Structure 1
Amino acid sequence: MKKLLSLFTFMLFATVLLNSCRNPAYEMNVLFDADVIKYKATLILKGAAGETLPANITVEAAGQDAASIYDFSGTKKIYAPAGVITLGVTPKDIPTASKTLAFNVKITAPGYEDKNIEMTIAENQFSQVIEVTMLKTVLPTEASVVKIVEAALSPTGATTAPISIVTPVNGDVEQSTSITVPTGTQFKDAAGNVIVGSAVTAQAINFDPSDPLSVELFPAGSLSSSNVVLPNGQTGEAFFLPAGFTDIQMFVGGVEVKNFTNPISISIGLDPDFRPQATGLPLAVGDKLGIYAYRTEVGQFTYEGEGTVALVNGKLTVTFSTNHLTVFIVGDVVVKPASCLDPSLTFSAPWMTNGATEPMTLEIYDTSDKLLATGPTIVSNGKVEVLTGLPSFAVKFKLINNAGKVLASGNITDPCAGGNINVTVDNPGSNVQSISLILNVKCPNKGFIIVPNFDLFYKPAGAPASAYTLLGTTSQGVLRTTLLTIGASYDFRATWNNQIKEVKGRTITSADMSTVVGENDFLGDKSPAFNKSLLIEACKGF
């Protein structure tokens, strides 16, 4: 790993000192992955309300195969510079035909809901990109509202009167969650100890499951989970269809409350357009829905019981009692059969010439056009995309480019039948240009080496930092894209370890933006001899 860090250090040095009149691609050499790490996964974090995320984000790999997961810079400590997490698989534990790696990525940021993302890496799945939406707990969104209440406690830490927390309703979120904590209730920490303090702070976030954003805000960032404790007590894979869900947290003296000495009552307002799987009819009084709890710290959903739909203040609601706090979900859960085989899409896009790629958004809907999943995919002509995490019932898909235009759509009648679906990706109709960014590194006495892969982000020159979006992932030093235009200027950004590198105001001057970094290059005020000595050190072991 030391030699890879040395090479990156040299390249970072080179890009900083280059004269601005040099080939713009010369300054795009900003991120180098470990060539020995063949499998890469990128998680791109974003704020639910479009806000800038804090810098002090903590990331941890956990679960079954966590020991095989590293930051792509080669360290066990995982970083998230500019909200980008890049993970790699240690070479001694790469996935095989009989072994798909499974692990969780735990993400915490001050003032935000914790995230625990389930991930898998299969054989030949060398690269994947996942978007993770982070919710600031005090900030409402188009799909969520929040209510915070503080109440005084007795000297023993007990409530002296009932505490009521009711989330507001507005034009975006028309359902409400209400919580009642009875008089004389004490609060317990994760170890079961009673917490003594002068006051309790209670926070409830209620979500509108009919809003498309709620799919991204759902626990674990997906409606699909492989870690669901079902009504029969068995743990399996399932797909959630929520009619309502809420996240409730309480603190006494800064200590998080996990349990109570007395049961509390929770009423969750339901989406009136929800249709239970059992009937297929509009939700009605007397319908039965499952109640599940999600524990973020372990990334597991657990069946809590069954609730009966009632009419409360003119709105459909499920009320239940509990002695613990967590995220609660009311709705249907569709179990995925163990025999289920994931289908795949093969993209046909002959207008994407010379191996050009373009990040697009793949959306999954049910047959009534309710959004079930959304996420980025990097499209190229002939690429095969395996669809994981689908439900077992019929779905539809849409492929949408960055301009919001639907370039492909189709149906998947049986998502558990496996097989391949050929998808024709329409030409967007504009003057598509294929721009090649090619980097060659020439090591002294060794010749050219293969440059490891890296992710590159871009935005129009001078646009705010929030405008950065994924341009693509290089393959052996080559990135061909249809997103850049000759004559236009862009800012570029990439990350490595905990470092951020930006190159601003670079103009694309031709379709072929190739460059070579070698021992005879004169970089800034540094002589070729000096650069040769750096390259000799950086290229050791290649």
Structure 2
Amino acid sequence: MKNFFTSIFRPIIYIFLGLSLVFACQKINPFEDVELTVNTDIYQAPILIHFLDANVDATKLPENISVSISGPGKNLIFDDLGGKNYTAAGNVLSLVLDKDAKPTETNPVEFTVSVTAPGYVSTSQTISITDPTKSLEFTVPLTNVAATPEGTAAKTETLSLTTGQTLTVPATADKPEVATITIAPGTQVKDESGNVIPSNTVNAQIVQYGTGSEESLNSFPGSFTPENVTLQTGASTAGTFVSAGFVAIDMEAGGKKVKSFTKPIDVNVGINTELFNPETDQKVKEGDQIPTWSFESSTGEWKEEGMATVVKGSDGKLSATFKASHLSYWNIDWFYYLPRCRPSFALKVTSNLLTNVVSSNYYAKVYWAPANSNNFQYVYQAYGFNAKNGELNQYIGLYTPNGSRVRIDVYAYSNNAKIGTTGIFNPCANTQTPITINAPTPPTPIVVDVDFTAKCQNKSVNIKPSAWVGLYDPSGRSYYERYISGYMRSGKATIVVYEGREYTFGAYYGGKYYSGKVTFNKTGSKIVTSTGTGITGTTSYNTSTGRVQVVASYVTNDCK
């Protein structure tokens, strides 16, 4: 999945529950005698990254995730303890920005999060911070080789280096294109250091991503608007990709990871019959030339490699062919760059929904086209959209060429029906774009204002904590609909939930996850922590505003 926008400023939907809490001048123990270092917002731009299975039908989340941070701004990024131990709590990673950093839209802090997990294709996400006061939330889909998302397929075989061999990813019902790699006889393979690996065979794996499925496109590594691209001229730039297809190729020989070859391998990637060439504004045809790009997942860098030629097979189907001298993601893409802008715009909502809504129940799909083209490419799904009448949904995107054209459609998760669409607009114009929403009537929501305090029994100290927290609604059909998350600042948060439902709440801190259950009602809210004791609170309902006020606290003997 992967992504047109790197930042979506959702409405504040964020919960209380002191739980695990952030930073370093006091220590409290929210659950089970775990000591947590607490402070009051000495860091900036709290960031929460969700690592998800790219297959929307997956019943499990990625596990045993390993991450690393690279890029020009890496020295300014810390874990939520203020260190460099980047540990995911389950499928979630919490980061913060150095307290002295001063990012702006013209001088952002940029860094790359690289991720690996057993059974998944490695990938990365480049993040750009332009406002140190904002909390940021991202999703990074990972491809499970054993259960690929729609429009994607994988194949693994042991190939002979002595005689040469071809590995084919066959067509499937949701991916009609075929991909092949061919190793020439006598090819030798090399490791990361360029040393030849003494082996007559190689274990090869290809994951092919088609362009006819949004689920497949969501798996695109990094972003369709990358900020770290090296051209064949050696120049570095940012811009926008229009993909004709991409593959992830991995090999292992003699127990070592293969990086390159003594003879380039031949790669052939099928082309979707409905794909348009943005340079001609016509469907792709035999003889078209499409640039090829390799991706280094450990740094988030795209590198221009050469050209692929579109050929027609005996079956009449089109494919792009090229030679690859090393292994990585290989992307067949048209690339648009300079002059460019960093879009900052908003969608102004006119809606039949006149009361507060649960934003996680709606989502937006973003489509992009170059100037003077009407052939829009799906580039991103934005999770969380405030569909209430009069709301302003704000977006800041990555660099995109001036004159680009964008359309945004909004959907309801309840039935995946489209409930609104914008006109075509220029994202570089920095304007408000109107959108009319006609949505199914949802259950009645309830707005909860939370004031949380951690009270130190052995000292005259009260802590107003800050932490990433989340609510899970088990009645949701997917991870995105079930999950509400956000950052609680100095003990204060406002959430919009459904009355009477039992939510699982959680907090992320220091590579750990803490959880309990809560049910919100107008007459009273029931709170049960993971140990059954600990958090206490009172609730009150304001009939004139229709809001519930929760004042909650936790008493600890462990304030150091």
TM-score, scaled relative to structure 2: 0.80
2: distance between equivalents of 1:327 and 1:45? 19
1:389: which partner in 2?
398
Deviations along 1:101-152, one digit per CA (max 9) or x if unpaired, are 1100111112211112110011255112111111123433312111112135
Q: Which amino acid aligns with 1:103?
A: F
For 1:397-412, list aligned pairs within 5 A.
Answer: 397-403=408-414, 404=416, 406-412=418-424
SS in 1 for 2:30: helix
SS in 1 for 2:428: coil
> Over aligned residues, Cα RMSD in angstroms?
3.6
- Structure 2: 5+ residue runs without aligned partners? 1-19, 369-373, 536-553
1:499 to 491, 512, 530: 512
Deviations along 1:285-331, one digit per CA (max 9) or x if unpaired, are 11221122222222211222222211023210122223222221123
**CA distance 1:31–1:494, shift in 2 (3 Å):** farther
2: distance between equivalents of 1:487 and 1:395? 39
1:479 CA displacement:
3.5
Deviations along 1:148-185, one digit per CA (max 9) or x if unpaired, are 12135xxxxxx221211111111011111111111111
For 1:167-186, list aligned pairs within 5 A.
Answer: 167-186=169-188
1:24: which partner in 2?
none
1: distance between equivalents of 2:109 and 2:282? 40
1:266: which partner in 2?
267
**CA distance 1:34–1:383, shift in 2 (3 Å):** farther
2:429: which partner in 1?
417
2: distance between equivalents of 1:364 and 1:81? 30
**CA distance 1:532–1:469, shift in 2 (3 Å):** closer
1:417 CA displacement:
2.5
1:46: which partner in 2?
52
1:269 CA displacement:
0.9
- Asked if 1 retains the 8 angstrom alpha-carbon contact of 2:209 and 2:217, the reply is no
**CA distance 1:456–1:8, shift in 2 (3 Å):** farther
- Residues 1:454 and 2:455 are matched in the alignment: no
2: distance between equivalents of 1:320 and 1:467? 41
1: distance between equivalents of 2:409 and 2:38? 33
1:476 CA displacement:
3.9
- Which structure features the higher share of strand residues? 2
Q: Which amino acid aligns with 2:396?
A: L
- Asked if 2 retains the 8 angstrom alpha-carbon contact of 1:257 and 1:325, the reply is yes
- Residues 1:432 and 2:451 are matched in the alignment: no
Q: Which amino acid aligns with 1:373?
A: Y
2:364: which partner in 1?
362
For 1:24-423, list aligned pairs within 5 A.
Answer: 35-49=41-55, 50-96=58-104, 99-124=107-132, 126-152=134-160, 159-220=161-222, 222-314=223-315, 315-338=317-340, 340-348=341-349, 358=360, 360-366=362-368, 367-368=374-375, 370-377=377-384, 379=386, 383=392, 385-389=394-398, 391-392=400-401, 393-403=404-414, 404=416, 406-421=418-433, 423=435
**CA distance 1:261–1:456, shift in 2 (3 Å):** same
- Which structure features the higher share of helix residues? 1
**CA distance 1:87–1:270, shift in 2 (3 Å):** same
1:383 CA displacement:
5.0
- Asked if 1 retains the 8 angstrom alpha-carbon contact of 2:150 and 2:213, the reply is yes
2: distance between equivalents of 1:10 and 1:355? 34
SS in 2 for 1:441: strand
Deviations along 1:12-44, one digit per CA (max 9) or x if unpaired, are 2599xxxxxxxxxxxxxx998862223111111
Higher relative contact order (CA 8 A, sep 6+): 2
2:483 to 465, 469, 475: 469
**Identity across matched positions, percent:** 21
**CA distance 1:359–1:439, shift in 2 (3 Å):** farther
TM-score, scaled relative to structure 1: 0.82
SS in 1 for 2:126: strand
SS in 2 for 1:416: helix
1:281 CA displacement:
0.8
**CA distance 1:151–1:98, shift in 2 (3 Å):** closer
Deviates more, 1:493-502 or 1:365-374: 365-374
- Asked if 2 retains the 8 angstrom alpha-carbon contact of 1:292 and 1:302, the reply is yes
